[in-house]
Amino acid sequence: MGKPVETVIITVAALLASALLVALFIAFTGNNPLDVFYTIYRGAFGSSFSWQNTLVRAAPLMLAALCTVIPARLGLIVIGGEGAIVVGGLTAALTGIALSDSGPWIVIPAMLIVGMLAGGVLVGTAGALKYYRGVNETISSLLLNYISIAVLMFLVVGPLKDPATLNKPSTFSIGDANMLGSIGDSSVHWGLAFGVATCVLLWFVVRHTTAGFAGDVVGGNARAAKLVGLPVGPLVVAACAVGGAAAAIAGVIEVAAVHGRANGSLNAGYGYAGILVAFLARQNPLAVIPFAILLGGIRASGGLLQRVHDLPDATVLVIQGIIFVTILASDLFYGRFQWRPAVVPASVATPTTTQPAQ
Amino acid sequence: METEFGVWSVVIAVLGGAIRVGTPFIFVSLGECLTEKSGRINLGLEGNLVMGAMVAYATSYYSGSAWLGVLAAGASGLVLGLIHALLCQSPKVNDIALGIALMLFGTGLAFFLGKPFIQPQAPRLPSLELGAWSDSPVIAAALNINALFFVGVAAVFLVHWLLQHARFGLRLRVVGESANAALALGIQVNRVRLMATMAGGFLASVGGSYLSLYYPGSWSEGLSSGQGLMAVVLVIFARWNPVHCLYASLLFGGAAALGPALQSVGVTSGYYLFNAAPYVLTLAIMIYTSSARRKLAGMPAEFTQ
């Protein structure tokens, strides 16, 4: 069976299996699963209003997912999306405040550049620590998330606080004139365009450039990559930095298009949900787009679920968790199905039950 | 606040806080240590912690017995550990990613099921007032130690003894150091890892019960501040040694108590930075002690694969 076909079949089967598990869970709560599924559909994709809700949520998910996707191609598990969003948004807000009199055509690009640099440095640090010091990248990126959030909260509650923001401590505003608008008449801001464009661009880099190919070689076998002379260290750092910069765009957009200031809302969990999108998309930047929309839709339907079925807002978290676990469990089935009998080498035909499980 | 001890009140508050805030750390880090000793990492103990907190509170509310709540929390941890261990039996399933997935699932399910328990009051765990001899409220508060802390300390030494001397502990360490050697010895690798992961899940969820049944002392969705995620960090800090896990937990508990303690004597700026102290400390230690060429001292060898 061709690999892409296998991937599509197993992913669809896993989504159906998770739908079944979700249905069981909903039935357990005393609701009719079909009714609830219909409500989720209505809340996510049923009207242009719900589509807009979905897409607004999908945009940061796409960008956050890339923070896990790009390093994963080199065999790293990076979960620093949340931290990259936070430092991206924070530094972008500071840039916007400093340049607020220069007009949007200066402010927005400057915010993007500074934010992406900050996110790239943050997650790139995790990559550098991995390669040059052997520090586990999953743990270090997790720690960097916590440190970034603490720095954000310290600054917006303390030295950078706009005294006018009482209930929700925030930085000063970047100015209404500098805000990033919406696409056409919709309520969907330009973040969606940034998200889709970044996914497509990185898909092109990964699939059609030598740098992308080199990254896949490192992911396949880092030792072999080194032996053929690939710069493994710089590639690892660059992949992490690119991922961090992508996630940071989500933070920049949250500031430039939604809040106009940096505050605790930057830490909204998009980074962690992005990890789920990355694994759903099997670390393919292009596949990130539909799965981010799917997950954005499920998250957008939370309010309607609450109103129609009196289900708590945590329902979408449970659904999200069930999908995530099922998708990972579906990894069990790769390579199990063959259209024609595989040619088995004699040496492998002996019982392989003694293979150690790692 | 009354400052009869001046600066010392901060020190006493931090020492008391080390025990009060550090107790859940003891359980989660011990659970993670046990799991990792078998050569597998469970990043999902945050899910266990939150789930344990909810189950303990609900059980305590319905049954009137806080200790029954602790046991029920442990049982929920066994189930989450079982899911992790069963799915990770195949080398195709990534244990780190599955940990994150179970963390999202566990916290989501706990929030969902826990909605009705946000308001009502459930019986709490008893504490021993070892500071009753003192007239000072500061000292009395610091020495008001929960019974679960002593259970945790006992568990630490039990696990330590188990790993050093018991047959199961030795097998577990062989599995963690070399699955191939374990197979050659006729040890069922996956079964040992299953038991280690389930036991680890049990301990982590018991740690969660402390959060809802003693400190902070009621069930809410903002109950955990990432203690479960910190477990992985603590174990690295403690070099995979259960007794060191105890010390590390107390140290991190003290560090986490520093922010509120300073706030109570009027030092309010930098509250969030003090909260970040444990994370910065851990990262610095990891950078200092790691090497690109060798594994960390004390780390199970199967772990690097």
Mean pLDDT of chain B: 88
The reported pLDDT for the residue numbered B305 is 47
Single-letter residue type at B51: M
Residue A161 has pLDDT above 70, yes or no: yes
What is the per-residue pLDDT across A193-241, written as a single tens digit (0 to 9) for each? Answer: 999 999 999 999 999 999 999 999 999 888 889 899 999 999 999 999 9
Distance of residue B89 Cα from the nearest chain A Cα, in angstroms: 6
Q: ipTM of this predicted complex?
A: 0.86
Distance of residue B115 Cα from the nearest chain A Cα, in angstroms: 7
Contacts of B98 (CB under 8 A, 6+ apart): A325, A328, A329, B44, B84, B87, B88
Could B183 and A354 be called an inter-chain contact, meaning their C-beta atoms sit closer than 8 Å?
yes
Distance of residue B35 Cα from the nearest chain A Cα, in angstroms: 14
Could A320 and B104 be called an inter-chain contact, meaning their C-beta atoms sit closer than 8 Å?
yes
Mean pLDDT is lowest, of A243-247, A286-290, B114-118, for B114-118
Q: Give the one of A158, A321, A335 whose C-beta lies nearest to B101's C-beta.
A: A321
Could A150 and B272 be called an inter-chain contact, meaning their C-beta atoms sit closer than 8 Å?
yes
Residue B291 has pLDDT above 80, yes or no: no
Q: How far apart are CA B157 and CA B162, in angstroms?
A: 8
Residues of chain B in contact with residue A282, where contact means CB-CB under 8 angstroms, are none
Buried b / exposed e over B221-230, threshold 16 CB at 10 Å, is eebbebbbbb
Mean pLDDT is lowest, of A73-87, A154-168, A295-309, B106-120, for A154-168
Could B104 and A321 be called an inter-chain contact, meaning their C-beta atoms sit closer than 8 Å?
yes
For range B70-81, the mean pLDDT = 97
Secondary-structure percent of chain B, ordered helix, strand, coil, rounded to 5: 70, 0, 25
Q: Give the one of B39, B92, B111 whose C-beta lies nearest to A314's C-beta.
A: B111
Closest residue by Cα to residue B192 from B166, B230, B226: B166
Q: How far apart are CA B21 and CA B13, in angstroms?
A: 11
| Residue pairs between chains A and B whose CB atoms are closer than 8 Å | 154
Closest residue by Cα to residue B106 from B160, B180, B43: B43
For range A166-191, the mean pLDDT = 85
The reported pLDDT for the residue numbered B126 is 85
Q: How do beta strands B144-146 and B127-129 pair?
A: antiparallel
Q: Give the one of B39, B93, B272 whose C-beta lies nearest to A157's C-beta.
A: B272
Q: Give the one of A77, A138, A321 whose C-beta lies nearest to B105's C-beta.
A: A321
What is the per-residue pLDDT across B149-184, written as a single tens digit (0 to 9) for each? Answer: 999 999 999 999 999 999 999 999 999 999 999 999
Nearest residue in chain A measured CA to CA from B236: A139
Strands, E, within chain B: which ranges?
127-129, 144-146
Please tell me whether the peptide bond between B91 and the residue prior to it is cis, using omega within 30 degrees of 0: no
Residue A184 has pLDDT above 70, yes or no: yes
